[in-house]
Chain A
Amino acid sequence: MRLALASLRTNKLRSALTLLGIVIGIASVIAMMSIGEGGRKLVSMELAGLGSDLIFVQPDYTAEAISGARRKSLTYEDAEAIRKWCPAVAGVSVQRVGMVTVKYGTDRYNTSATFTDEGLSTMYQGRLKEGRFLQELDVRIQRPVVILGGSLANKFFGESGAIGEKVKVNGQSFSVIGVMKEEGRTIFGENPSDMSVYLPITHSKRMTGSDEVAFIYCEARDTSQVREAMDQIKRVLAQRHGKDASFSVISSASILEVTETVARIFTVILGGIGGISLLVGGIGVMNIMLVSVTERTREVGIRKAVGAKKGDILKQFLFEAISLCLVGGAIGILLGWALAALIAKIAKWPTYVSLFSIAVAVISASFSGVVFGVYPAYKAANLDPIEALRYE
């Protein structure tokens, strides 16, 4: 009804302030959901890049935490055994993480080192900026070679020219054979992997005093053999560590599934936080509508005297509340979108405004219009025309 819109226009400032509540609510729903969705997309893309035929073997940290039993460690030899005795496994790689000191000239950094082998090329496919990954020989003969994280290489050598240079790792001289791409900043600050180094695993014992392996990852011969490969790996580990040895052996497909689920929950929680501000905005709408009904009691009386039915009055006020919320919703979507883009730019966090989140926003905007408009509208509709006409 035109008259409903006209009355919104008359109280411009008040309508605008009410609108603001809805705008902020919808904008935060959109922005929050875009952060969650973006994170989910990033994780799935990263995991999808791994392929669905990978198997991860780790000491079972949960069992240790629950029962207090000393966990069994994985060693480089375990990886060798898997390579040898598991026919369904095509490739095996190991990783161990420790802290090292890296020095070039007068610059020195304490940073994390990933001790690994030639399997790195599978794991980190496409992430190398220049140079090469580790080769089998590098590992076997403990060649003093190192791959630098993107930021670290930048700090030492600038944009290029790192390959072939020598850096000191824990005092020993290593040649740089590769530089990783920069992962970029995360929402929490600089990505730590940009500052780390990658070394042949055979250096691990001397540098960190341990050759315990954090995890072994294996590639099944093909996707259909993943289950078989997992069984073979478990059998080999049981043989080497005893029957009660608990290791977690999981496939990349199931990790993908779990992360997707977690990310989805994350999105819902973030959306919920946005939803709370929408609720606050909705209460603002209800407040203003109640004021408006009281102010326009006489108008309601006039309308009723000339033949407006309850339903007509109800519709008028409801329509007013819903149009407030929808206009607010539309502005909120645009603002939320802009906010998402800003977050993406400043925090380098990939945001993604999905059609779904826009649908959620539109639906919740009109829904809050109905929910928070219905009580004031009902109140107006049930005014006694005589009382209403007498109202000053």
Chain B
Amino acid sequence: MINAKDIEKVYDTGAIQVAALRGVSLKVERGESVAIIGPSGSGKSTLMNILGCLDRPTSGTYSLDGREVSTLSDDELAEIRNKKIGFVFQTFNLLPRATALENVELPLVYSGVQGSVRRKRALSALEKVGLADRAHHRPNELSGGQAQRVAIARALVTEPAIILADEPTGNLDTKSGLEVMRILRELHEQGITIILVTHNPEIAAMADRFVEIRDGLIVREGNGSDILERPAGAEEGKGGAS
């Protein structure tokens, strides 16, 4: 599904060049869930942006679903994002002036799905996250957990191959965070590939596998349940089961 090889990303800030990624290789199989962990500034967001086709690597190759995407144009990347990738952000990133339903419809607008079909699909995506009754609320009328679930509905409405979640629980209280993680795990069980970026080891432990990044390099890899250097019983018994 994902095959990234020797990915480097250098930011040219004029005077100095900053290497955010210094040769990262990552393979993710279809249906897997992978957590990318690391402290801030480690390059994990940069990796996430590249995996999410929001950015191109300076060098290295990245093939997504059998297609080489590291050299595509902006518009081609936009289409890949639209069809194959669903994003869930830390800050939700919902359009404040649009209703939950309109927010969920948005990706379908850009893939050219017609009005009534669009509406139906958006509603069923909202149902999946248990928010069908909030369809006509605006983001500021929703709680943080609800807003993030709307964002998840938006991510899955196009039936993407991958959902990329960047600190999805970062702005949420523990209870809402667990609810969001429960939904993500459900999607994972339905066969959607999930890549989770987080610095919270407990959240990361819920993935099949984790990859730790420091200073632009992968320093550690392992099974999700191994991430906590604690007895297995402390992680609420939720490891990779697939």
Q: How far is the CB of B4 from chain A (nearest CB, A)?
A: 17
Which residues of chain A are near B55, meaning CB under 8 Å?
Answer: 386
A-B contact count (CB 8 A): 61
CB distance A6 to B98 under 8 Å?
yes
Inter-subunit contact A306/B110 (CB<8 Å): yes
> Interface size (B, Cβ < 8 Å)?
26
> Is there contact, CB below 8 Å, between B110 and A307?
yes
**Which chain A residues lie closer than 8 Å to B106 at the CB level?**
302-303, 306
Q: Is the CB of B107 within 8 A of A307?
A: yes
A389 touches B89 (CB 8 A): yes
| B49/A386 in contact, CB under 8 A | yes
- Is B79 within 8 A of A298, CB to CB? no
Tell whether B81 is near chain A: CB-to-CB under 8 Å: yes
A301 to B94, CA, bound (A): 11
A308 lies within 8 A of B95 (CB): no
User: Which bracket fits the contact residues of A?
Assistant: 20 to 34
- Chain B residues in 8 Å Cβ range of A385: 54
Q: Which residues of A are found within 8 Å of B149, using beta-carbon distances?
A: none
Per-position binary interface string of chain B over residues 60-102, scored 1 when its CB falls under 8 Å from any chain A CB and 0 otherwise: 0000000000000011001101110001010001110110001
The smallest beta-carbon distance between B165 and chain A, in angstroms, is: 13
B97 near A7 with CB under 8 A, answer yes
Among A6, A7, A302, A308, the residue within 8 A (CB) of B78 is A308
Chain A at the B interface: SS class? helix
Q: Would you call B188 an interface residue if the criterion is a C-beta within 8 Å of the partner chain's C-beta atoms?
A: no
Tell me which residues from 299 to 343 in chain A have a Cβ below 8 Å from any Cβ of chain B. 299, 301-312
Q: Which residue in chain A gives the minimum CB-CB distance to B45?
A: A386
- Interface: B154 (CB within 8 A): yes
Question: Is A3 among interface residues, defined by CB-CB distance under 8 A?
Answer: yes
A10 within 8 A of B: yes
Residues of A contacting B93 in the complex (Cβ-Cβ under 8 angstroms) = 298, 301-302, 305, 389
Q: How far does the alpha carbon of A310 sit from the alpha carbon of B94 in the complex, in Å?
A: 20
B200 adjacent to chain A (CB < 8 Å): no
* Complex Cα gap A382–B102 (Å): 24
User: When each residue 273-297 of chain A gets 1 if its CB lies under 8 Å from chain B and 0 otherwise, what string results?
Assistant: 0000000000000000000000000
B58 at the interface (CB under 8 A from A): no
Q: Which residues of A contact B94 (CB under 8 A)?
A: 302
The interface centre, meaning the residue of B74, B78, B110 with most chain A CB atoms within 10 A of its CB, is: B78
Q: Which residue of A lies closest to B96 (CB)?
A: A299
Whether B98 pairs with A307 at a CB distance below 8 angstroms is: no
B140 at the interface (CB under 8 A from A): no
A299 and B95 in contact, given A305-B81, A307-B83, A309-B75 (Cβ under 8 angstroms): yes
B111 CB–A CB distance under 8 Å: yes
Question: In the complex, what distance in Å separates the CA atom of A310 from the CA atom of B55?
Answer: 15
Contact residue among A10, A306, A308, A311 (Cβ-Cβ distance under 8 Å from B87): A306
CA–CA, A102 to B98, complex, Å?
79
Complex Cα gap A309–B89 (Å): 20
B87 touches A305 (CB 8 A): yes
Which residues does chain A contribute within 8 Å of B75, judged by CB atoms?
309-311
* B81 and A306 within 8 A (CB): yes
Taking a contact as CB atoms under 8 Å apart, the answer to whether A304 and B89 are in contact is no
Shortest A1–chain B CB gap in Å is 8
Do B97 and A304 touch across chains, with their CB atoms under 8 A apart?
no
Q: In chain B, what residue has the closest Cβ to A301?
A: B93
Residues of A contacting B102 in the complex (Cβ-Cβ under 8 angstroms):
3
Chain B min CB distance to A301 (Å): 7
Q: Are A309 and B54 in contact (CB under 8 A)?
A: no
Q: Which of A10, A305, A311 contacts B97 (CB 8 A)?
A: A10
Chain A residues whose C-beta falls within 8 Å of the C-beta of B49 in the assembled complex: 386
* Chain B residues closer than 8 Å to A301, beta-carbon distance: 93
**17 A-B residue pairs with CB within 8 Å:** A3-B95, A3-B98, A6-B98, A7-B97, A302-B93, A305-B52, A305-B81, A306-B87, A306-B106, A306-B110, A307-B78, A307-B79, A307-B83, A310-B74, A385-B54, A386-B49, A389-B89
Interface residues of A (CB under 8 A from B): 1, 3, 6-7, 10, 298-299, 301-312, 385-386, 389
What 8 A-B pairs are tightest by C-beta distance, nearest first?
A307-B82, A306-B107, A307-B110, A309-B75, A309-B78, A302-B93, A308-B110, A307-B81
Other contacts beyond A298-B93, A307-B78, A307-B82: 18, CB < 8 A: A1-B109, A3-B97, A3-B102, A299-B95, A301-B93, A304-B78, A304-B81, A305-B87, A305-B93, A306-B82, A306-B87, A306-B107, A307-B81, A307-B110, A307-B158, A308-B110, A310-B74, A310-B78
